[in-house]
Structure formats: C-alpha cells, structure tokens
C-alpha cells in the first residue's frame, strides 16, 4: 500500500486531520494517475510540534551520530533509486533517462557531497579567549519545487540534519510522489522520531502556514520570486531566518574567440535541459552582432535535433513541461516574442506536430531579441532560447547584468584568463566558464531577486547554523 494519502509525522505515516485530496497529473497524458492528501494548519501544527519536541535531544547528538544517520539515509536512497527516478519521470514528465541520470542522480550526489563536507566540518573556532560555536538553528520549514524535486529536497534535508536541526518538509504538490518515496527512505534509515516530517499540500494552506509558524526557526524556500516574496513577508512577523533560491534569467556570453559551433550547440542544450525548467538555465544567449546570423543557424540545427516525446522512451530528450498552467505560460511568452518583433528561428506556438496530447512545447529559438522584450525579461521555464546581439564586451556585460535576477551566468572563451575577467564582472551567484560539469561542492544561490543564502555541501550546512560567541572562554 502506498503512502500517497498520508503524511510522515513523528516517525509514523498518519492520515490528515481534515481529509482532502488532490489529483497528481501525468503531464505526458494530461490525466491523473494518483491522488495525494493535502494538509492544513492542524497538520502543520502536528508536524512542527513533533520537530520541536525532537530538537532538544537531536541537537545534542554527536557529529558521528548524525554522520552515521546521513550514511544510512544515503543507503536507503540508493535502495529506492529506480523507484525515485520513475516517480520523477511520471510526476514531472522528465524523460526516464534524464530522470535516472540527472533527477535521481542529483539527490544522491548532494547527499554524498553533504556527507563529505560534514566529515571535514568544524563547529568550533577559537579566537583569542573567545570560543565561537556553530549551533543548529532549530526547527526548519523546507519548501521545495517541482522542477528538480530530489535535488532541492536533499539540498535542504541533508545539511539541516548535519547541522543538528529538525525539519518539516513540504514538497511541491505538483510533483509530490518522489518526495513521498524519499520520506519512506528516511524512515527506513531509522531516523529518530520527529527529526524529519513531511506534510503535502498547497503553498497557501501548508507552505505559508509553515513560514508564519511561531515555532519554526528558519524557512528554506526554493521556487518563484513571486512566491518567495510571500514567504519572506509571512516569516517576517516572527523574525525567523529565511533562505531563498528563486528565479533566474541567466545570460550566456559567447565571446568572439569562442568556438561557435561548440559554444552555441552546448548553449542550446543547456537551455533546453529538463525541458527548459531550470532556474539557472542559460536562456539569454549573447553573441557578437556581426556573428548573429551564424549563431542562429547553429542554434536552429541544434534545436531541431532534439527528440520530443514520451518520457518513458529511453531515447526521448525532451518531455512535456509540468502542467497546463506552465504550458499556457510558455505559450503566452512565445506569442509575445512574435508580437514584439523577435525573429522566430524555429519552433513556435503549439505542440510538436506529431503529438496531440500532453504539455509538450516545440523547442523554440528566437533571434534578434532586443533587451526589454518580454522573452528577454521574464523567466519562461520552457525550451525557449533568446539570442541577443552585443556590440562589444562592455555591452555584453551590461546586458547580462540588466535583469532583476542574478542566479547564474555563463561565459564561453578559448582564453581562460579573459573568461575569468568577464566572469568577475557578472552579478550572479554562480558563473560557469566553458560548460563545466555540475559541481555539487560549489556554492549555489543568487544575487538580487534570485534570493539569498547558499546551498550545496558545506555552504548549505552553514545556513542552518547559529553563531554563538562564548567570551572569556579562556586559553
């Protein structure tokens, strides 16, 4: 029997206080394939009370005890790895190969990175006769999104446990099943009662209640900037810490000396990965004005090479976007690109011709996009690339930084020294040079309206800690 209609609170799978359900839609078929229970304030109160009761003892456990717990959770995660991948594929439409190699992999990789960082983490530092101590902040509300469900769940749960915190997790109600499987793995690992709790539900009915709860000491939220603002305002009344990883509109500067065939091809792949549903996707490709048409020809060929279709097929590269709401948003922005005068290079409105159902978007490239157009300003969250001309390097940096966001940026050049200088001028929390592999030990988080705080490895552990100075501690 599944636990889709239950919450995990105080070490047990329990029914909601007030029964209510929500259908989970398979975005490749537009049909419901299961239901989850959705919570309300009484469920949040139960979960927070369990976390609060568990905190005094768990916060005093040794580093060795918490390290052993994380290793057991990792083993339990690996035991359920294929089931986690299948859940992510069905709930969000990720192609099954991508679900295994990126979605499920990300959860495992972050658990391994947290364990490695935790092994080397020092919770005390002597400064003269003062002892500086890092202590767990307390009960943490963790609110995670649908686009990288395992990535964001593990990025929050693992460092919080390493720090000695207790948690209440609300996964996205759009893609909740992988979170339930994760909770089952946490339970199988023998996690002490109340340390980890899960309540499914909507943002207003569960997430916002968690954010404003007086017994929650910290909120860690990943999602849209719009929702992040609501969370921050709600949390402000109780002056709790708020860590946020929000939206992005990342620029990809291709410098004149880059290998254009490689740089543009990989730029398209980076933009379209996860069906374009990544907050750090390089959605604005900046190219020298004199090579704009060359870049468009390469981008067109690259985009038209993607196989869009059934997520269950091993060779599918692009599945659907996650929901009708998301599909409609992407379509609106594609229409706006055409209406505002950008050149539609390939793709465009509607589904690919061979598909008659599912939230599938045609891989789309726009050229001659001007700063200020809707497709240049707004986070689209679909496989839509905007190619923008720049006159010189200063112009490229100005365009890249001219956004309310600042999560990620990208620089392509065959001169690494030159690329580093450009990277230093970009106002973003993470800058990638020449498409490096994903680094789960690098700090991840944003400037400006892309949020605050940092995730991944030791950077994340630090965010779940308070700093205490014991003055007069002695030699």
Q: Which residues are catalytic?
A: 245, 279
Burial class (CB in 10 A: 0-12, 13-18, 19+), 467: exposed
What order do you get walking across the sheet with 451-452 strand by strand? Answer: 12-14, 7-9, 196-198, 166-170, 139-143, 218-222, 241-245, 451-452
Which DSSP state fits 4?
T
What is the distance of C-alpha 291 from the center of its chain?
Answer: 33
Residue that has been written with the tokens 């995990």 in this structure: 8
Q: Which residue has the tokens 């899960």?
A: 198
What b/e string do you get for 54-63 counting C-beta neighbours within 10 Å, with b at 16 or more?
bbeebbebee
Q: And the tokens for 219? A: 């909120």
- Nearest residue to 93 via CA among 324, 349, 378: 324
Residue 137 to residue 221: CA distance in whole angstroms:
16
In the three-class reduction of DSSP (H, G, I as helix; E, B as strand; rest coil), residue 342 is classed as: coil
């Amino acid at each position: 029997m599944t636990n889709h209609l239950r919450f995990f609170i105080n070490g047990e799978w329990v029914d909601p206080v007030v029964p209510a359900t929500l259908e989970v839609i398979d975005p490749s078929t537009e049909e419901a394939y299961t239901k989850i229970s959705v919570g309300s304030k009484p469920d949040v109160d139960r979960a927070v009370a369990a976390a609060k009761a568990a905190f005094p003892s768990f916060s005093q456990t040794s580093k060795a005890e918490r390290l052993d717990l994380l290793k057991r959770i990792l083993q339990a995660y690996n035991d359920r790895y294929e089931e986690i991948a299948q859940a992510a594929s069905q709930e969000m439409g990720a192609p099954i190969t991508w679900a295994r190699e990126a979605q499920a992999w990300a959860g495992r990789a972050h658990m391994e990175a947290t364990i490695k960082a935790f092994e080397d983490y020092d919770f005390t530092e002597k400064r003269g006769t003062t002892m500086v101590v890092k202590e767990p902040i307390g009960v943490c509300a963790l609110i995670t999104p649908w686009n990288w469900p395992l990535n964001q769940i593990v990025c929050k749960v693992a460092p919080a446990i390493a720090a000695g915190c207790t948690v209440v997790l609300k996964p996205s109600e759009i893609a909740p099943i992988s979170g339930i499987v994760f909770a089952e793995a946490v339970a199988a690992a023998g996690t002490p009662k109340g340390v980890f709790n899960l309540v499914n539900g909507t943002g207003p009915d569960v997430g916002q209640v968690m954010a404003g709860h007086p017994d929650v000491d910290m909120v860690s939220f990943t999602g849209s900037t719009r929702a992040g603002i609501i969370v921050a305002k709600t949390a402000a009344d109780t002056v709790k810490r708020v860590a946020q990883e929000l939206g992005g509109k990342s620029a990809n500067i291709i410098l004149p000396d880059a290998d254009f065939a490689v740089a543009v091809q990989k730029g398209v792949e980076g933009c379209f990965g996860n069906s374009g549903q990544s907050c750090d996707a390089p959605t604005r490709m900046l190219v020298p004005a004199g090579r704009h048409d060359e870049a468009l020809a390469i981008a067109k060929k690259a985009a038209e090479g993607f196989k869009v279709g059934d997520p269950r097929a091993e060779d599918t590269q692009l599945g659907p976007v996650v929901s009708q709401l998301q599909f409609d948003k992407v379509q609106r922005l594609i229409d706006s690109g055409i209406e505002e005068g950008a050149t539609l290079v390939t793709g465009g409105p509607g589904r690919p011709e061979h598909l008659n159902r599912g939230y599938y978007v045609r891989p789309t490239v726009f050229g001659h996009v001007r700063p200020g157009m809707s497709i240049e300003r707004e986070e689209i969250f679909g496989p839509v690339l905007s190619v923008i001309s720049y006159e010189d390097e200063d112009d490229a940096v100005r365009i890249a930084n001219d956004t309310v966001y600042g999560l990620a940026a990208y620089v392509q050049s065959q001169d690494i020294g030159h690329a580093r200088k450009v990277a230093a001028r970009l106002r973003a929390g993470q800058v990638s040079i020449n498409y490096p592999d994903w680094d789960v030990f690098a700090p991840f988080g944003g400037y400006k309206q892309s949020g605050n705080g940092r995730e991944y490895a030791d950077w994340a552990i630090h965010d779940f800690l308070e700093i205490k100075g014991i003055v007069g501690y002695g030699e």
